[in-house]
Structure 1
């Protein structure tokens, strides 16, 4: 909906964001923060390391007013609102411009160091079954705003910029969607991408040291603080009682919502006192690398309202995914899902790039997974060891450049604990030298215990790992999953993707070995 200058001034003033208001008398018919996305009648947001010369081109294309930070003085004589937080201002004005779409959707927000994407896809599938496919999705992998494939988009950020997010939410409402499942990153709160947004249910899966570095969070304290902001912006909270730092998490959660709005889940322990007061506990009945059966049990009157007790089959390997499933079941139940829909969804859910399995009679089993930090890689390797006969366990892994610097020692530690042979390679090196990244990972691996092979060309590394594996070996391709590009020097460089490479290599080897 168009915005008048007076409306913009009032919305910003209501949030105490205004340093200097504009006397703009016209009307805004488009919003943009990228000069390539400007149309006539655009309100333009100056954010990040914006170069003033870009505004010349943007004005020519149709910028009629600007929201700028303090100190940005080259606004081309355009009407300007000066604010102390452009990102927050963009979120406030975006939700108003798109007619507050969040008020027309039941929203689930999911955060955690690991498992966000898996839990989001599980919740999405449960609500698809419940609502006859009237549920939207915003995840690390994709954005879905409608049933038609033209409303399925590739994601570029775990949580989109606010302008994109509210535009997609508006599109979802226009397409008849009634629910939405979102991954919410710590960066979403640190960079105000979800400023002013409130969730019907916030899900907190876990927390461990990650995303610490110059371009992300300066300290773990900053990281966990940003993560916990989800509590402050949720009507109800689903929290993993087995998470590290649970004492700090529960203290903050109890301040954020009343007791009947806080739902705890945990793995069932032998000693009931170890269940940390969980409302719902889960335990494994059977599991293998194709899937698992698990049992849910409620504890207390509040859990009786959920009526989730029973046995469920999950068509995904990994006992860690049972916890993700439990969280998704509680969250979707709170926004209207039924247990039959949940059971059906767990049997059908597929997450692109998550524990995808390929087998070769001569070269064993290959798993493709987005695991990219200590917790996820260690859990994956431990699970493979526990559920598969393995002569040699090979892993192909790297780490991104210019982000998540703190992950690198953890990746090395996980490899050291779980692998026999490690192919250290590139994974979105950006502006860093991938060899330097590999050296940081390698520093935590005992070369006497784990054979280390450095091959910076990822396609070659995958090919060599599969080619040299035997019938009882396992190859884990970690990190990139279905990503079809490598981020190199600021450019999304086309890349075949791990799953496609594995399938091609297996087919070529089978043909050559006939």
Structure 2
């Protein structure tokens, strides 16, 4: 909705964000932080490493006022709100401009080092079953704000910039959506993308070393602190009692919500005393590489209220996915989903690019997955070995540039634990030299145990891995999934995608 200058000042002042406000008499009809997204009567947010010369062009397109940080003095005479945190200010103004859409949606926020996307898709499918398709989604892979395909967008960030997020939320409300499931990254809190946003349910899956580097979190302590901010902004919390650093997590969660707002889940242990006081435990009934059967058991009167006891079928393999499903079921139950919707949702959920399987006649089995850090790659390789006859297990993997530097040693360690042959290649190198990234991973691979092949052309690496595989071999393509681009020197460079390459190579080999 249009905003006056007085409204903007008041919203920012309520959050103690505004340091200086203009006497702006006009009306704001549009918001933007990118100079390419400007319309008449736009309020423009100067954020990040903004180049002042871009503002000249933006002004000619319709910028009539600016929100700028302290020290940015090149506002071309435009009315300017000076704030000490532009990202936080953008979130507050955006939610007001889009008429506080979060208050019209039941919100589930999901965080964790691994499993966010799978859990989000499970929760989204369950809620779609429960609401006849009225659940929105914001994930690493896609943003969905309506049932029509025109409201399905490719995602560029795990958690969008606040302006985009509230715009999509508003569109979801306009499209009749009643619920929304969101992945919430640590960067979303570090960079204030969700400033001022509360969740009906916050889900914390796990925490391990990741996203530590010059352009992300300086230390693990900073990483976990940003992750735990989800607790502070959730009305109820679903927490994995099997997570690393659980004592620290439970202490923070107990400060954030009352006892009846904290829900714990864990894998069933042989010794019930080891279940860390879980409200719901899960156990594997059966599993293979196509899916699994698992059972839930409640512990205590509070958990009995969820009425989740029983056996469930999941069209995804792995006990790690059973844990994710348990979290999704608990969270969706807390926002109104019924058991029938859970049964149907878990049977039908598909996560694009997750454990996609391709079987060839002469070159074994190929799995495509977005696994991109120690925890996810190690779990994937170990699961394949446990459930597949494997002669040689090959993995094609790299690591992104200018982010997640701490992942690289872990990728090498995961390779040691599960692979026979590793093709180290490019991922999204950005501004780094892919050869340098590969060298960092290789430094942590035991080359006496694992054969390492360096091939920086990812398409060629995939081709070679499949071509040299025998009928009892397995090839794991990790990291890129269905991504149709590689980030190179700041440009989204077209890329065929791992799944498409694998299918093409197999078809070509079997046609010979």
Instruction: Sort the TM-score into its range (normalised by shorter chain).
Output: over 0.9
**Residues 1:428 and 2:438 are matched in the alignment:** no
Render the CA deviation track for 1:188-240: whole Å, top value 9, x for unaligned.
00000000000000000000000000000000000000000000000000000
Q: Distance in 2 between matches of 1:361 and 1:72?
A: 63
- 2:366, 2:301 → 1: CA distance? 45
Following superposition, the deviation at residue 373 of structure 1 comes to 0.2
Provide, for residues 246-300 of structure 1, a one-character-per-residue CA deviation record: whole Å limited to 9, x for no partner. 0000000000000000000000000001000000000001011111000000000
Match of 1:84 in 2: 84
In structure 1, the residue corresponding to 2:36 is in which secondary structure? helix
In structure 1, list runs of 5 or more residues that go unmatched: none
Query: Which residue matches 2:193?
Result: 193
Q: 1:54-453 counterparts in 2 under 5 A?
A: 54-453=54-453
Distance in 1 separating the partners of 2:387 and 2:262: 35
Q: CA deviation at 1:317?
A: 1.4
Q: SS at the partner of 2:332?
A: helix
Distance in 2, matches of 1:235 and 1:281, equals 22
- Give the distance between the partners of 1:327 and 1:136, measured in 2 at CA: 18
Give structure 1 regions of 4+ aligned residues with deviation exceeding 4 angstroms. none
Corresponding residue SS for 1:35: coil
Which secondary structure does the structure 1 equivalent of 2:137 belong to?
strand
CA distance in 1, matches of 2:317, 2:433: 35
Measure the CA separation in 1 of the matches of 2:317 and 2:301.
32
Measured against aligned partners, the alpha-carbon deviations of 1:353-405 in whole angstroms (never above 9, x if no partner) come to 00000001211110000000000000000101111110000000000000000
Query: Equivalent residue of 2:511, what SS?
Result: helix
Stretches of structure 2 that go unaligned for 5 or more consecutive residues are none
Equivalent residue, structure 2, for 1:474: 474
Distance in 1, matches of 2:505 and 2:186, equals 37
In the TM superposition, residue 416 of structure 1 has moved relative to its aligned partner by 1.0
CA distance in 2, matches of 1:175, 1:38: 24
d(CA) in 1 for partners of 2:149, 2:291: 28
For residue 90 of structure 1, report the CA deviation from its aligned partner: 0.1
Q: Distance in 2 between matches of 1:235 and 1:431?
A: 41
Structure 1 partner of 2:41: 41
Provide the aligned length of Structure 1 versus Structure 2: 512
Query: What is aligned with 1:3?
Result: 3
What is the rounded CA distance, in whole Å, between the counterparts of 1:314 and 1:365 in structure 2? 21
Separation of aligned partners in 2, 1:39 and 1:388:
56
Taking the aligned partners of 2:366 and 2:142, their CA distance within structure 1 comes to 24
TM-score, scaled relative to structure 2: 1.00
Cα distance in 1 between the residues matched to 2:206 and 2:365: 29
RMSD over aligned CA atoms reads 0.4
* Partners of 1:339 and 1:425 in 2: CA distance: 44
Shift of 1:70: 0.2
* Cα distance, 1:82 vs structure 2: 0.1
Which residue number in structure 2 is paired with residue 458 of structure 1? Answer: 458
Instruction: Give me the whole-angstrom Cα distance separating, in 2, the residues matched to 1:490 and 1:26.
Output: 37
Q: Secondary structure at the match of 2:238?
A: strand
Cα distance, 1:448 vs. partner? 1.1
- Give secondary structure in 2 for the equivalent of 1:287: strand
- Equivalent residue, structure 2, for 1:53: 53
Asked whether 1:494 is paired with 2:494, we answer yes
Once residues 448 and 232 of structure 2 are traced to their aligned partners in structure 1, the CA distance between those partners, rounded to angstroms, is 48
Task: Show the counterpart of 2:15.
Answer: 15
| Cα displacement string for residues 477-510 of structure 1 (whole angstroms, at most 9, x for unaligned residues) | 0000000000001100000000000111111111
SS class of match (2:359) = strand
Q: TM-score, normalised by structure 1?
A: 0.99
3-state SS of the aligned residue for 2:117? helix
Instruction: Supply the distance in 2 between the matched residues of 1:199 and 1:505 (Cα, whole angstroms).
Output: 45
